[in-house]
Structure 1
Amino acid sequence: MVSSSGSHNEHKRIDDPLYNSLLIKNYITYIKEFHPDIEIDSILNYAGITRYEVEDQGHWLSQCQVDRFNELLIEKTGNSNISREVGRYAASSKASGALRQYTLGFVTPSSAYRILEKQASTLSRGFTLKTRKIASDKIEVTVTQKPGVMEKPYQCENRTGIFEAVAKLFTNELAKVEHPSCFHKGDDCCRYIITWGRTRSIIWNRGCNYSILASMLVSLALFFVLPILPWVFVVLFCVLLAMTFSLYSQQLKKKELSTTIETQGDAAIDHLDEMNIRYNNALVIQEIGQATSTILD
């Protein structure tokens, strides 16, 4: 009886709407750029997904649908690691402009990773995600599947790729992701240890702080050793050095902010395109309704 009930529950969850269409849209955008020869419609048809469902960010897909999509995609590309590559590609504004814009709203990678705890539910209903800060450049993410959900290893790989990509939005480099525990290896949950590098502006800003401290100590020590005039020259040199560090770090920070603003502009354009599509669809529905009403009258 228990086995039968469990089997029924599993089947029910396989057909439940669990995954937002944005995840599949990332795949499609990736395919268009790196595998333009592949016919996307044939993969969608095999998976039982329509183009309209992919474009509708309020639509959710079942485990069965995403499994069939991945199955045929691997067959056509011959790349068994494509899910992770697509996850990494999520750092591109073309792939997920809204997600990218939302992530860049946070000042540091640490803040962006911590907000994943809330953001994850907008992409999947199949798991819960918890984060724990370990250090200023390291965080632990724990993903626990909900009862009856049977995720596949490729989804774990896709998630890993997304975790790698989040840091790239800030540091221009993929994060290092360790995966010591995995549901598909018999563990209770998937656990990820994510480490990322510091941005150049942060490194130079830290150098600026150290140079100011060193300058103060050197100036104070030499005050009792050097004559007044040489000591003044040393102080001026130290001040000039600290100012150089400070100005360069500020320049780097402005450049990074400029890149962020430019990226958010791209994401805003994507939003406008989506709004235009939905508006046009609404007009078509309205015209159909009016035409139907005229015929019936």
Structure 2
Amino acid sequence: MDRLRAMRVFIAIAQSGSLSGAARQLGQPLTTVSRQLAALETDIGTTLVTRTTRNLSLTDAGRSYVETCRRVLEELDAAESLIAGRDDDLSGEIVITAPVLFGRLYLLPILVRFLALHPRLDAKLHLADRVVDLAEEGIDVALRIGALPDSTLVATKLGSLRMVTCAAPAYIRNRGEPKAPAALAAHDCIAFTPLPPGGTWLFKSAAHGRRAVRVKPRLSVTTAEAAIDAAIAGLGVTRVLSYQAEAALARKRLRTVLEPFDDTTIPVHLVHRAVRLPRPQVRLFLDFAARELRTRLGKAQSTAR
């Protein structure tokens, strides 16, 4: 048995969730994929997948082993590229994930420029407003907003964001500017659905401490874009991450309010799996994206102030 080939087949099975999906992904007959999996399970002496008539899932041993396979193959590919001096001639694929709006506004333009520099490299960009498991979903690099939990992932700090409370200039002229978080009770508010626990907006600052304000929204929406559009239209006050309101603030279609009560920063990181020798496309993309994103986040913070 070709162990490395069988490991690649097993990774494809884990990613696709089925033998037929792995066969399509690899361009191999289904019988070959099934035979490779059976040989691998026999060789290591344990069951890696549980099969039913409807689906296939990894066993506990399978989940552990697929991560080992990824790490081994990534380091092997990276070593071969290093020996061959192929850093400047990247090929293959890189898989990246990011939150939907941040990914579209910030990461996509950077990825496009990176691909233009490396014509033989392909990429997949998964935009999702959830925490994606890098190992389980075959992700090379993830962008994360917020405090990171303890994990084995390697993190690169890019900068920070903050929450901004804002409204249209016309709304502020008509209704007045709230001077303290408690004053929001007298204002129309535009909130995301669902609201944070207890239906509150939480303000934190060094000067004023922590203040939680219960909000009864005039309008509840499910996306930042909708909240910002409603605020621009003059419906009320909304509260979003600074990058989400960046364009509207720069064009003076929105104004920030309650800034002294909200100076807590929210970190932004790129994370990747811990391997001794990352693949060249991962290592070079991390360097390229970190440099570009640090500059962009710095400008966004200036705009939001």
TM-score between both structures, scaled by the size of structure 1:
0.20
Q: Larger RCO: Structure 1 or Structure 2 (Cα < 8 Å, ≥ 6 residues apart)?
A: 2
More strand by percentage: 2
Higher helix share: 1
TM (norm. structure 2) is 0.20
